[in-house]
Structure 1
């Protein structure tokens, strides 16, 4: 009888202290040993990783599929298949659904639905709902990885999707921070000022709705930076484990710098803000609309500098698929177009391209899209590391290969609205994804099955 289920041999392996040439021994879905090349015990299966770089599977802490609502936009099966193709082995699903995931009953329904259909591992955010201790405590008992709120009102006609999630009133924002402080769970905030959004939307009403610049002018950077500054002031007293979602602007970077050390807060940005500008949105129209908007080159430059300085330490996809019919129905109408783009298959290749261009080290790129998130949310080293005892979630990448983004090869259901990605050529590609020691993606084909992914809980705090 073989001592191991699987050995991965011959690859360059990213360990916490950098790249090493070691063989990885796997049994029972976990890493049980790191061995000098050729010295691993016998295994039932050996995968030759020669010429490949082996990374811990990516942990995407900001993802939307909205299931079981809106299957026309994508399903748990379709979007977790896409995640596997993008080297993502664990995703954190946001609470926007229909109805909102703001009650224990809805949380349970979504958890069970994902368990039946997910190809990769998943965790679920909860909305804090009625802001009571009873709801908070039950969500934690059910396994919520974190909580999410918006500082904006619910979009028109979507009240049930945002009930218990949208808190435009600052008093409620402070109540939420205080309620969730001390739970050990991060509080993630989509931060834009409700009053400033209303003000600038009114000013932009006379502008051409077909212009990408109109969207940017209706939600300028000051809406984000003011909301973030107010949250950080509130958190000086609340002392929640605060995380600012999808930072887009140089203004907000300056705010984050100014408040450094005042409370336990972190911030993320997304590939669409790091690799694209409003000019790209103008080229593709409403297919490039996201909230907050993709901004200007100066903002992109500031985000990269914030990453270099350690002001921003997380990069997430904010994957948010919509149907082709929904985007087409809004062509030429930025104010009313649905906001969101698919990005789960873009993030890792884009970061590998940044590594190839010398903007990041491989270790830093991986921290941004994986291990930092695993640590912040209480999953490390179960996730985010290649160490004995870690789950055998791995991704093979060819640093010398190339990824060409094209609708014909994307796995997301939203491939037909991935206009921002179409035709992009990126240095580096994903060749294999392994979940719990089993291959779920290899050379263009998703081999994982629905129900293979597990519901992920944060590790007990010490």
Structure 2
């Protein structure tokens, strides 16, 4: 038998049909084989995984770092180091950048920048830009993993970051869906009704800007639910591979249920909506502001039920770091505060904690944050599985261990604005992360090298 580079022995390995007590052999950056204990070939390195669980490395399909712009918020290096610490081996970067990633030139520039700096593997979304076939095809040729649009207007002062990405006009939304429908790539939509947002934001001007509830009242669930309903109705005609981003509310879950089976659409939610409520936002202040807002316990309960029922089959981070100075400058001003939390280190421990609490089983938890995304984007089983020939991307976790969140324990550059997670103690701990057979995180230290990640295409 051919010698192995690495043998992970003694652990429980998560395979597509569940956990198995097998040894996992890695060679040349791929899974070389699965072996009954004691039957594997010799290996240059042996990892003793007794008492541990061996998972495919996490694939996060919704991530923001905005690089190379805004290095004060975080860089490709800092945020992919944080990803490695969280058991994430592949991330999909969204197209908000300065300028927006809505042209072939900007897509190529970002690809090269990430290639030089990323510690883990990465894929890039593109915005459809000028809605021409020429622009669309050029970005497909460059290897974009999928598409992203907003149904909201560009935020004030940020038009260049959203050029070709923000389509508040419904006719343009339909044009985008129709243009992208035959690309075979998912179209991710941040869905909130522009008209209703304007209405409720105007009403909220009379409310206390320091009150966390003001943010939710300025962007209530109806804004999301109406936008999603319209998109799903449009998709009856467009037949795009539609994906609804960061679902937050019971109302939107009801819309998703109502349109089930009408077109090829999927939906995601995020840990901030599954593990926090508006009460947590009130405690953390503007540091916990996200768009769409974190809502109420009834909404959180509806999201968990949607996961149980298969209405929602994806959980993503929507990782969005900001500089401490930016958040501090907006103290007492929820409407003016920048929206986003840095969740890349939280997602895997949080889902393991949900497993420990009996919310769902380990296979379902892993499918939600990894395997389902890899399938949807045409990467499975190269990513998202530990089968012979799959990428040797591995997260070794201790299901009985603890993860404690505080600035001193986090790797993201935005650790000082992660107030939503401070003080949380989760049952489940990432012990080691392996990318293409090489350790990139082990025992609390990031070991991956700058530029060690690879650009991932379909």
Q: TM-score, normalised by structure 1?
A: 0.99
Q: Deviations over 1:250-297 (max 9, x none)?
A: 000000000000000000000000000000001111000000000000
Q: Distance in 2 between matches of 1:316 and 1:327?
A: 23
Q: Deviations over 1:38-90 (max 9, x none)?
A: 11111111111111100000000000000000000000000000000000000
Q: Secondary structure at 1:432's aligned position in 2?
A: strand
Which residue is equivalent to 2:397? 397
Q: Secondary structure at 2:24's aligned position in 1?
A: strand
RMSD: 0.7
Which residue is equivalent to 1:409? 409
Q: Distance in 2 between matches of 1:336 and 1:192?
A: 18
Q: Distance in 2 between matches of 1:268 and 1:164?
A: 23
Which residue is equivalent to 2:184? 184
Which residue is equivalent to 2:236? 236
Task: Trace 1:67-78 onto structure 2 (pairs within 5 A).
Answer: 67-78=67-78
Q: Secondary structure at 2:342's aligned position in 1?
A: coil
Q: Distance in 2 between matches of 1:400 and 1:81?
A: 24
Task: Trace 1:327-406 onto structure 2 (pairs within 5 A).
Answer: 327-406=327-406
The alpha-carbon deviation at position 374 of structure 1 amounts to: 0.2
> Is contact 1:2–1:43 with CA below 8 Å preserved after alignment?
no
> Is contact 1:7–1:24 with CA below 8 Å preserved after alignment?
yes
Q: Distance in 2 between matches of 1:236 and 1:131?
A: 20
Which residue is equivalent to 1:168? 168
The alpha-carbon deviation at position 202 of structure 1 amounts to: 0.4
The alpha-carbon deviation at position 182 of structure 1 amounts to: 1.3
The alpha-carbon deviation at position 5 of structure 1 amounts to: 1.0
> Is contact 1:181–1:239 with CA below 8 Å preserved after alignment?
yes
Q: Distance in 2 between matches of 1:432 and 1:24?
A: 15
Q: Secondary structure at 1:112's aligned position in 2?
A: helix
The alpha-carbon deviation at position 450 of structure 1 amounts to: 0.8
Q: Secondary structure at 1:114's aligned position in 2?
A: helix
Which residue is equivalent to 1:197? 197
Q: Distance in 1 between matches of 2:248 and 2:25?
A: 41
Q: Distance in 2 between matches of 1:208 and 1:17?
A: 52
Q: Secondary structure at 2:439's aligned position in 1?
A: strand
2:147 maps to 1:147 = yes
Gaps of 5+ in 2: none
Q: Secondary structure at 2:429's aligned position in 1?
A: strand
Q: Distance in 1 between matches of 2:122 and 2:448?
A: 14
2:210 maps to 1:222 = no
Task: Trace 1:3-402 onto structure 2 (pairs within 5 A).
Answer: 3-402=3-402
Q: TM-score, normalised by structure 2?
A: 1.00
Paired residue total: 458
Q: Distance in 2 between matches of 1:445 and 1:199?
A: 48
Q: Distance in 1 between matches of 2:349 and 2:24?
A: 23
Q: Distance in 1 between matches of 2:281 and 2:249?
A: 16
The alpha-carbon deviation at position 3 of structure 1 amounts to: 1.6
Gaps of 5+ in 1: none
Q: Distance in 2 between matches of 1:5 and 1:357?
A: 36
Stretches (4+) displaced over 2 A: none
